[in-house]
């Protein structure tokens, strides 16, 4: 029984040694393959270098070996920076992939909105405004524009006053009255009829308004007071 146990242990040791030898042999083959690859790469590199030197020489370009060496040193020293740059490029590429659908949708929305504005006539309106500007520039001189600039405050104050609700209401009433007049059937008034109409309350109020209005204008204008 003891001899059998010893033989079993020896067989187990031999099996493990076989595994170790197989692993060593595999590593040796791998190392040999790497060495063969390095030799091939070295030969290819030498050929490429020789070809590059010949082409550079034919092109009249002198290659400074020291400068190439410094460039390689800089490349090695900044390998982390180069990796970060590639990571940034990858991030930018991912961002563009995410943003592209949004930009595309914004472009489509912009096109639809421009088409909607075109259908509503906004662009025609802008073109007509350009014609208005051309007419203004054509019919007014530099002196007219200068005078407009000098009096723009007064003009705006006048417009502001005209846009007051009571003024607009009065103007609108006057327009309505004019629109309702029958211009083809205006009655004729003799002097006697005029004097008679002037005694009516409406005419008296109208004359009072006109006289008061004219007097106030005269008071506001210094030249009319002289």
Please tell me the predicted confidence (pLDDT) of residue 1: 59
Q: Is the pLDDT of residue 224 over 60?
A: no
What is the chain's mean pLDDT, rounded? 79
Burial of 48 (0-12, 13-18, 19+ CB in 10 A): exposed
Q: Is the pLDDT of residue 64 over 70?
A: no
pLDDT tens-digit map of 154-187: 888 887 877 888 877 877 887 887 777 777 777 7
pLDDT tens-digit map of 140-159: 888 888 888 888 888 888 87
Domain ranges of the chain: 73-139, 150-184, 187-226
Q: Is the pLDDT of residue 46 over 80?
A: no
Please tell me the predicted confidence (pLDDT) of residue 65: 66
**Residue that wins the pLDDT comparison between 156 and 188:** 156
Residue 2's pLDDT band (boundaries 50, 70, 90)?
A: low
Please tell me the predicted confidence (pLDDT) of residue 102: 85
Read off the pLDDT of each residue in 109-133 and give the average, rounded to a whole number.
86
179 alpha carbon, distance to own chain's centre: 50
Structure tokens that stand for 82 in this block: 């180069």
For the ranges 60-64, 129-133, 171-175, 209-213, the lowest mean pLDDT is seen at 60-64
* Contact call for residues 210 and 202 (beta carbons, < 8 A): no
Read off the pLDDT of each residue in 193-203 and give the average, rounded to a whole number.
79
Q: Is the pLDDT of residue 80 over 60?
A: yes
Q: Residue 109: phi, psi to the nearest 5? A: -65, -40
Structure tokens that stand for 143 in this block: 């002196």
Integer Cα distance of 126 and 132 in angstroms: 10
Q: Is the pLDDT of residue 225 over 70?
A: no
pTM, two decimals, is: 0.33
Please tell me the predicted confidence (pLDDT) of residue 39: 78
Please tell me the predicted confidence (pLDDT) of residue 63: 60
Q: Is 200 helix (H, G, I), strand (E, B) or coil?
A: coil
Percent residues over pLDDT 70 in the chain: 88
Q: Is the pLDDT of residue 114 over 70?
A: yes
Please tell me the predicted confidence (pLDDT) of residue 60: 66
Q: Is 13 helix (H, G, I), strand (E, B) or coil?
A: helix
């Amino acid at each position: 029984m003891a001899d059998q146990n010893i033989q079993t242990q020896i067989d187990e040791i031999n099996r493990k040694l076989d595994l170790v030898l197989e692993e060593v042999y595999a590593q040796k083959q791998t190392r040999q393959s790497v060495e063969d690859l390095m030799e091939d790469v070295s030969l290819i590199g030498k050929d490429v270098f020789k070809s590059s030197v010949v082409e550079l020489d034919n092109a009249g370009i002198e290659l400074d070996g020291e400068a190439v060496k410094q460039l390689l040193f800089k490349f090695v020293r900044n390998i982390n920076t180069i990796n970060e740059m590639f990571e940034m490029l990858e991030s930018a590429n991912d961002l563009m992939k995410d943003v592209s659908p949004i930009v595309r949708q914004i472009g489509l929305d912009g096109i639809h909105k421009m088409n909607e504005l075109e259908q509503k006539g906004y662009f025609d309106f802008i073109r007509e405004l350009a014609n208005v500007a051309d007419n203004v520039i054509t019919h007014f001189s530099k002196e007219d524009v200068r005078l407009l600039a000098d009096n723009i405050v007064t003009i705006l104050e006048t417009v502001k006053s005209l846009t007051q609700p009571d003024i607009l209401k009065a103007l609108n009433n006057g327009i309505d009255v004019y629109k309702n007049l029958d211009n083809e059937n205006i009655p004729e008034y003799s002097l006697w009829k005029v004097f008679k109409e002037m005694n009516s309350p409406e005419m008296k109020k109208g004359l009072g308004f006109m006289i008061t209005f004219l007097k106030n204008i005269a008071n506001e204008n210094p030249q009319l007071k002289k």
